[in-house]
């Protein structure tokens, strides 16, 4: 049984209200998590995440609220050509352009994280705010003139600009950039832990001298056993005061030692050191976000561009498909922020 127009209208009304609430709640939670972190305003990553969350909240409170009023009210005269153009431009073009470039900025932050941390504190806030503003500034400079300059507000609100050009710049290009750059970052291995590097802990430093450690033979206590002040049998000239593979105290099995760029697990069963670099985990999470972003916003661009050339059996099928890809696009503002919550901790 095919749905009728009344059923589709009810579905649109329900989905509209649900997504307005979900987008606001999820992105509000994302914002609260970021601003509670110390000196968040000095972090490019956190400021970019905050900027993207604000963009999604604007999507819920402006275009979706306008759509809700259009769906629930019988009087449609409030929907002027300018209001319709502003809502469509933000929903279909600007937010995707900003989000895609925002993912590119986050990828650049992961790659340049160590250099960014070396910036003087006086300039960290400026660099964080500036980097998080770049996608919005480019969107205002590129997307708004591109999508609004050829709108005829006097004649049926028509836009003579090419759909292929508008979606190509605002959707396809940012999606492609975010995915490609994330893949490249996953293929580039930034050195994080070198042989002999000291890993900071809250107790004593652990010196990693080799990838395979025999806890019985290769861990040497210093000072050597039998040494005591005044012991004439101990000759300091013939002993290396700091053996290369010495540790002050052997750590318990399966203890996890953290530093800024990696996690090291000491496993007593196979006596090996396993390293999980933080930057690799961040790059993997960023790639997932980029793929989901592309999967959820590209369909509406393709359908909108090809709608006039698709042989629809009836108008109802066209309506169902276009509504599905539209709400799929809107759902992106709920799903990617949830993943951003875990990404922000890396």
Mean pLDDT (whole number) for 118-125: 75
Beta bridge partners of residue 206, listed in sequence order: 199
Looking at the structure of the chain, the number of domains it has is: 1
Structural domain boundaries enclosing 130? 9-189+279-343
The label of the residue with tokens 């005269």 reads 77
pTM score, whole prediction: 0.74
Mean pLDDT (whole number) for 263-287: 59
Under the banding of pLDDT at 50, 70 and 90, the label for residue 312 is: confident
Closest listed residue to residue 19, CA positions, set 343, 330, 341: 330
Q: Is residue 264 part of a domain?
A: no
d(CA 13, CA 70): 10
Q: Is residue 3 part of a domain?
A: no
Q: Is residue 28 part of a domain?
A: yes
State the first-to-last Cα distance of the chain, in angstroms, to the nearest integer. Answer: 49
Q: What is the DSSP string of 103-149?
A: HHHHHHHHHTHHHHHTS-HHHHHHHHHHHHHHHHHHIIIIIHHHHHT
CATH number reported for the structural domain that contains residue 102 in this entry: 1.20.1070.10
Q: Is residue 266 part of a domain?
A: no
Q: Please tell me the predicted confidence (pLDDT) of residue 245.
A: 52
Quote the DSSP letter at residue 169: I
pLDDT > 70? residue 163:
yes
Residues 6+ apart with CB under 8 A from 341: 29, 30, 33
SS3 (DSSP) at 210: coil
Q: Is residue 238 part of a domain?
A: no
Q: Is residue 269 part of a domain?
A: no
d(CA 318, CA 326): 12
């Amino acid at each position: 049984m095919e749905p009728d127009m009344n059923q589709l209208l009810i579905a649109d009304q329900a989905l509209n209200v649900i997504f307005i609430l979900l987008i606001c709640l999820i992105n509000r939670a994302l914002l609260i998590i970021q601003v509670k972190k110390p000196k968040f305003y000095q972090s490019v990553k956190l400021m970019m995440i905050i900027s993207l969350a604000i963009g999604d909240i604007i999507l819920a409170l402006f275009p979706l609220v306008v759509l809700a009023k259009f769906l629930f009210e019988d009087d449609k005269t409030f929907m002027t050509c300018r209001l319709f153009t502003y809502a469509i431009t933000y929903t279909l073009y600007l937010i995707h352009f900003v989000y895609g470039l925002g993912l590119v900025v986050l990828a650049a932050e992961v790659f340049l994280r160590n250099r960014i941390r070396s910036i003087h504190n006086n300039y960290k806030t400026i660099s964080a705010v500036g980097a998080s503003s770049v996608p919005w500034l480019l969107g205002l400079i590129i997307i708004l003139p591109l999508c609004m300059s050829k709108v005829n507000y006097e004649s049926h609100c028509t836009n003579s600009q090419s759909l292929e050009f508008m979606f190509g710049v605002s959707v396809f290009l940012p999606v492609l950039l975010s995915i490609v750059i994330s893949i490249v970052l996953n293929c580039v291995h930034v050195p994080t832990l070198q042989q002999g590097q000291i890993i900071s802990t809250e107790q004593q430093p652990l010196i990693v001298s080799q990838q395979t450690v025999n806890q019985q033979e290769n861990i040497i206590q210093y000072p050597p056993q039998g040494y005591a002040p005044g012991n004439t049998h101990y000759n300091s000239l013939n002993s290396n005061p700091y053996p290369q593979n010495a540790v002050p105290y052997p750590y318990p099995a399966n203890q996890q030692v953290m530093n800024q760029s990696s996690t090291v697990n000491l496993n007593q069963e196979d006596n090996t050191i396993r390293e999980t670099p933080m930057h690799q985990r961040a790059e993997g999470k960023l790639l997932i976000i980029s793929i989901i972003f592309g999967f959820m916003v590209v369909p509406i661009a393709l359908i909108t561009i090809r709608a006039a050339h698709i042989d629809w059996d009836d108008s109802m099928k066209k309506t169902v498909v276009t509504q599905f890809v539209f709400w799929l696009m809107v759902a992106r503002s709920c799903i990617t922020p949830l993943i951003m919550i875990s990404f922000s901790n890396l």
